[in-house]
């Protein structure tokens, strides 16, 4: 089973041959910048800081900043978790902190620029889009063949009004894609399974020392010894293990040792997995993502041109033609569910697909009204397509003899994944 299969992705949105190649050969082969309208001024309880980081995981950076500043992680806010192996530019907010404190921070490969203050905390989703510059290296085709393939896929994407808006592996864990499995256990109100999945499930690409420690814990449930076996860099796991060493049956307490943002990601990841499955089934049935059919639910464009999933309308045979005219003009968008206890489901054929996905998982919408309440989710609809504005350049790869590189520049709406767009151009997996 491929990683794509594990996270619910089983189809492509384009049929053109990919270029292959590798990503992130160098850190600066992957550059991402947040685009937002965060207002800053000279007053407010939140300090707004722009961070340029190189090869840093967002959660680890926030944890280290909280230690350096000696403040709770709950004081920090950010709009999205960025790729680790990349150069990323993003904004964070810090409650009740001053510029002088930031000026004293010296972390390797991180630069800080205080932008001002605000009375509004930066929260998940508080951005318009992300701008990317990504270089694919070690392509085995000639520059001419590479360019031809990229042009064909770009043409298909344009004709289809974008790529399938799958959630990428970052949502699930790049080395250990398990967050959705933890989320499913929480939805089933089985915190013990959630904890043990997070602590013990192993994957081949993980460091052998970590894998061996997880295998030991899975066999023995010896939390005390495991606190000594787990590598020191697994700080989240160690925090849970130290709690379980004294309270072995308090699984909810162990989960509470994780950052709030990470705890919420577990439920979101399970919803994302179900969303990916829904898109896969729709594509495999030959139902387009850029055209509504009776039973669909669409959303409409907001004031900045992005899909507004708070404005929904059901598609019927009576309004079908009008809705599709709006889709053609970029004013409406087909959606699929991120299931929750208040999420509307489609009807007719689209609804059949959505219910098949839930049935296959033995999951019902009311399951998302779970206890404790912080793990409950109302859910929402999400647009099925992400429509990038892409330019590209193809040349010889100066780092690999007789190979080609392609640099793609594109912008994606918030919540969409660069790796999903790149997947269409590279075609590395065996998904059909």
Cα separation, 135 vs 141, whole angstroms:
15
Active-site entry in 4, 28, 29, 83: 83
Angle, helix 260-284 to helix 179-187, in steps of 10 degrees: 100
Strands 163-164 and 404-413: unpaired
Cα separation, 259 vs 373, whole angstroms:
16
Torsional sign, CA 178, 181, 187, 193:
negative
In the annotation, is 205 catalytic?
no
3-state secondary structure the chain: CCHHHHCCCCCCCCCCCCCCCECCCCHHHEEEEEECCCCCECCCCEEEEEEEEECCCHHHHHHHHHHHHCCCHHHEEECCCCCCCCEEEEEEEEECCCHHHHHCCCCCCEEEEEEEEECCCCCCCCCCEEEEEEEEEEECCCHHHHHHHHHHHHHHHHHCCCEECCCCHHHCCCCCCCHHHHHHHHHCCCHHHHHHHHHHCCCCCCCHHHHHHHHHHHHHCCHHHHHHHCCCCCHHHHHHHHHHHHCCCCHHHHHCCCCHHHHHHHHHHHHHHHHHHHHHHHHHCCCCCCCCCCCCEEEEECCCCCEEEEEEEECCCCCHHHHHHHHHCCCEEEEEEECCCCCCCCCHHHHHHHHHHHHHCCCCHHHHCCCCHHHCCCCEEEECEECCCCEEEEEECCCCCCCEEEEEEEEEECCCCHHHHHHHHHCCCCCC
The catalytic site residues sit at 83
């Amino acid at each position: 089973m491929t990683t794509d299969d594990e996270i619910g992705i089983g189809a492509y949105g384009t049929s053109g041959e990919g270029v292959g190649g590798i990503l992130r050969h160098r850190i600066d082969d992957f550059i991402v910048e947040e685009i937002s309208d965060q207002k800053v001024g000279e007053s407010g309880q939140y300090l707004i800081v722009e961070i340029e980081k190189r090869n840093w995981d967002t959660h680890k950076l926030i944890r280290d900043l909280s230690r350096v500043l000696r403040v709770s992680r709950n004081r920090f806010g950010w709009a999205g978790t960025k790729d680790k192996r990349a150069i990323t530019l993003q904004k964070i907010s810090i409650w009740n902190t001053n510029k002088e404190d930031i000026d004293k921070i010296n972390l390797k490969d991180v630069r800080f620029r205080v932008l001002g203050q605000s009375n509004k905390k930066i929260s998940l989703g508080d951005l318009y889009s992300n701008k990317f510059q990504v270089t694919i290296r070690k392509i085995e085709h000639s520059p001419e063949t590479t360019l031809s393939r990229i042009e064909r896929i770009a043409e298909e994407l344009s004709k289809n009004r974008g790529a399938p808006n799958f959630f990428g592996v970052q949502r699930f864990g790049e080395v250990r894609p398990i967050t959705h499995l933890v989320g499913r256990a929480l939805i089933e109100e089985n915190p013990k399974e959630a904890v043990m999945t997070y602590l013990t499930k192993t994957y081949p690409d993980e460091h052998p020392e970590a894998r061996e420690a997880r295998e030991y814990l899975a066999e023995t449930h010896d939390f005390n010894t495991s606190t000594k076996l787990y590598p020191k860099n697994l700080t989240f796991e160690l925090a849970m293990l130290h709690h379980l060493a004294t309270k072995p049956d308090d699984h909810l307490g162990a989960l509470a040792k994780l950052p709030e943002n990470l705890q919420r990601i577990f439920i979101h990841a399970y919803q994302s997995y179900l969303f990916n499955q829904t898109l896969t089934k729709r594509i495999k049935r030959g139902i387009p993502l850029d055209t509504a059919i009776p039973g669909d639910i669409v959303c409409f464009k907001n004031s900045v041109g992005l899909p507004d999933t708070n404005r929904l309308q059901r598609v019927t045979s009576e309004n079908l033609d009008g809705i599709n005219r709006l889709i053609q003009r970029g004013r409406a968008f087909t959606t699929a569910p991120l299931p929750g206890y208040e999420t509307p489901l489609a009807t007719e054929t689209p609804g059949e697909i959505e219910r098949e996905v839930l049935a296959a998982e033995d999951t019902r919408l009311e399951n998302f009204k779970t206890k404790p309440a912080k793990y409950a989710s109302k859910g929402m609809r999400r647009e099925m397509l992400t429509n990038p504005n892409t330019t590209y350049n193809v040349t010889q790869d100066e780092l690999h003899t007789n190979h080609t590189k392609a640099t793609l520049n594109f912008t994606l709406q918030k919540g969409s994944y660069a790796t999903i767009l790149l997947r269409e151009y590279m075609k590395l997996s065996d998904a059909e």
